[in-house]
Structure 1
Amino acid sequence: MSSIPYSSYSRTTSMLSSNQLMYQLRKIQSEMSDAQNAITTGQAINKPSDAPTLTSAILLVVEQMEAREQHENNLDYISTMLNNVDQAMADVATVSIEAHSLALSQIGITSDEGTRQAEASVVDAQMSALLDIVNRKVLDIGLFNGNSNSGNEAFVEFMGGVRYVGAETNLIAETGLSNEVAYNSNGAEAFGALGYVFGDVDLNPTATNSTRLKDVDGATDNGVRLGSLQLDGDGNTVTVDLTTARTFNDVVTRL
């Protein structure tokens, strides 16, 4: 009896062929979609699976780009703040010059108690203007607060004067440089607000008969120049020699 030789046959069903064809079509469609997306966005890689070996390098570049963008934003903000600080300093200088001119105008025989009283309201307005300037804020950040609480004022009225309550160091920001950059100022460095007075000199002196003439600086801070005075009264001219006067009492006695 003859035997039938064994043979191996590879059979492919219609369903399998159809699935393989659909897989190839989907793959081609996906590749076409990726190519179209790359053309539209200008990016060859849009998700990690597009290039797994390059993902870490791409993420590092993206992180550096985001940091650079933040640094640029910080620089814009710093520029805005410092421009406002410069403007405030210029405004302080303007008001100070006006106050100095006003003070000089009240020195001399053309000024009396009445005119000084009239100008007192101007001085009060100038003081108020200066207080407003040094307490300016931008985005709730005090220009002269230093790194203290931005919600507080830098300068406050205190016992008839003004006291600085801010910090001695400034707010800082990163800009990508080796050192951080300050973007506001403080009362200590801008106006010397934390200065101290040392000594035993009376800051509110009162002249008496025993006050020495050499201790009096005078309105122009040049001291008292001794000499002879000519006084004219009722048509009579009298010369008063004050050369050897030493105190206010000496002057009063000789007059």
Structure 2
Amino acid sequence: MIGRVTQLGLQRASLTHLQGNLAEMADLQHRLTTGKVITKPSDDPAGTVDAMQVRSDQRATAQYTRNAADGDAWLTTVDSALGQTLGDLHRARDLTVRGANAGALGPSSRSAIATELRATADSLLQTANTTYLGRSVFAGTSTQAAFVRGPEGTVTFTGRPGAEVLRRVSDTTEVRVDAAGSEVFGQDVLNADGTLVRDPATGVPAGMSVFTLLGEIANRIEAGDGDIGDSLAALDQRLSAVLAEVGSVGSRHGQVLQAQDALASREVALANRLSAVEDADLAETIVDLQLQEVSYQAALGATSRVLQPSLLDFLR
């Protein structure tokens, strides 16, 4: 049995379809103006979950990028300080070799060499207290200066041995960005009164920083002591320690630079992935909008021809 089709029924059905066409046009226009397929979770729940995960990965990648940039700056500072240290130590070694020839040098020459050695020690102490953003790069996690000269002329290491400054540059990788000051420059072994601990038989210090070592060499040269082979050997040990740290810093710096390249590539990949999930295809959207406009105009024309009520239509 076919039900009766009334004029009111036709009107409601036509208006419903027209409103549907208008809603589709509005959605396409909104997509075209925003450039996004997803503007609220109900647009695409599964796509929304994917977009949220990508954005979470982007935030993590951005943090790793900041960590890597900070680590790069730390290691650049350390590398520059170690380069300066090597230059000073090579100069100190040359002066020590010259000062060892005490018989050929007069008092004024020995005094000049000793003065330069002490100045070199002061320069090394300044380098050992190099800072980056207010933090000493040779003191570990300590916020104090790495080395402090005491009243007796000895130097105390005030950093935190073994407390490494680390920067996480990926989910699984942490890189050390500081340098061990006590290993690079050595440290004095002191008595309670601040003097060096020495072997009672030989007078050799139990442990000595490079700063104190240069002061000892300067004193011996100034006094005309030409037998300083042991001091020269100790200076060579400090040079070897600095060279070893230079190699370690170079390796870690290379690791950070590789991480920066990987993070830059990951940022691009995540941006492309997010665009694939959220961004609208503008060309396709324009075509769909034009088709929807044609469909809407056709629906309006058909409705205007079908819905032409007269007085008789209302009297039936």
Same-fold call, TM > 0.5? Answer: yes
Query: Aligned with 1:104: secondary structure?
Result: helix
Paired AA for residue 73 in structure 2 = T
Distance 1:46 1:135, change over 3 A: farther
Counterpart of 2:106? 112
Query: Larger relative CO (CA 8 A, sep 6+): 1 or 2?
Result: 2
Structure 2 unpaired stretches of 5+: 191-196, 206-224, 231-316
- The CA deviation string for residues 140-165 of structure 1, in whole angstroms up to 9 with x for no partner, is 2321111112xx21111112021110
Question: 1:185: how far off?
Answer: 1.4
For 2:159 and 2:65, the matched residues in 1 are separated by: 28
Counterpart of 1:62? 55
Give the counterpart of 2:227 among 206, 209, 219: 219
Query: Aligned with 1:102: secondary structure?
Result: helix
For 1:108 and 1:69, the matched residues in 2 are separated by: 61
Distance 1:103 1:190, change over 3 A: closer
Give the counterpart of 2:85 among 92, 96, 119: 92
Higher radius of gyration, 1 or 2: 1
* Residue 156, structure 1, aligned to residue 179, structure 2: no
Query: Aligned with 1:71: secondary structure?
Result: helix
Whether the 8 Å contact between 1:85 and 1:185 is mirrored in structure 2 is yes
Distance 1:219 1:177, change over 3 A: farther
Whether the 8 Å contact between 2:131 and 2:137 is mirrored in structure 1 is yes
Question: 1:102: how far off?
Answer: 1.1
For 1:56 and 1:198, the matched residues in 2 are separated by: 69
Structure showing the higher helix proportion among its residues: 2
Counterpart of 1:136? 130
For 2:154 and 2:189, the matched residues in 1 are separated by: 14
Distance 1:195 1:59, change over 3 A: farther
Question: 1:32: how far off?
Answer: 1.7
**Map of 1:200-219 to 2, 5 A cutoff?**
200=200, 201-203=202-204, 219=227
Distance 1:218 1:112, change over 3 A: closer
For 1:195 and 1:83, the matched residues in 2 are separated by: 31
- The CA deviation string for residues 192-235 of structure 1, in whole angstroms up to 9 with x for no partner, is 3377867433248xxxxxxxxxxxx961549xxxxxxxxxxxxx
Counterpart of 2:116? 122
Whether the 8 Å contact between 1:154 and 1:165 is mirrored in structure 2 is yes
For 2:39 and 2:133, the matched residues in 1 are separated by: 38
Query: What value does the CA root-mean-square deviation take over the aligned residues?
Result: 3.3
Distance 1:54 1:110, change over 3 A: same
Distance 1:48 1:198, change over 3 A: farther
Residue range with higher mean Cα deviation, 73-82 or 133-142: 73-82
Distance 1:181 1:128, change over 3 A: same
Distance 1:90 1:110, change over 3 A: same
Counterpart of 2:66? 73
Paired AA for residue 26 in structure 2 = Q
Query: Aligned with 2:102: secondary structure?
Result: coil
Counterpart of 2:22? 25
Give the counterpart of 2:37 among 40, 44, 48: 44
For 1:218 and 1:153, the matched residues in 2 are separated by: 35
TM superposition score normalised by structure 2:
0.53
For 2:187 and 2:41, the matched residues in 1 are separated by: 57
Paired AA for residue 156 in structure 1 = V
TM superposition score normalised by structure 1:
0.64
Number of corresponding residues? 198
Query: Aligned with 1:163: secondary structure?
Result: strand
Query: Aligned with 1:173: secondary structure?
Result: strand
- The CA deviation string for residues 59-86 of structure 1, in whole angstroms up to 9 with x for no partner, is 1121112212322332232223212212
Whether the 8 Å contact between 1:188 and 1:194 is mirrored in structure 2 is no
Give percent identity, aligned residues only. Answer: 23
Paired AA for residue 37 in structure 1 = T
Query: Aligned with 2:160: secondary structure?
Result: coil
Query: Aligned with 1:109: secondary structure?
Result: helix
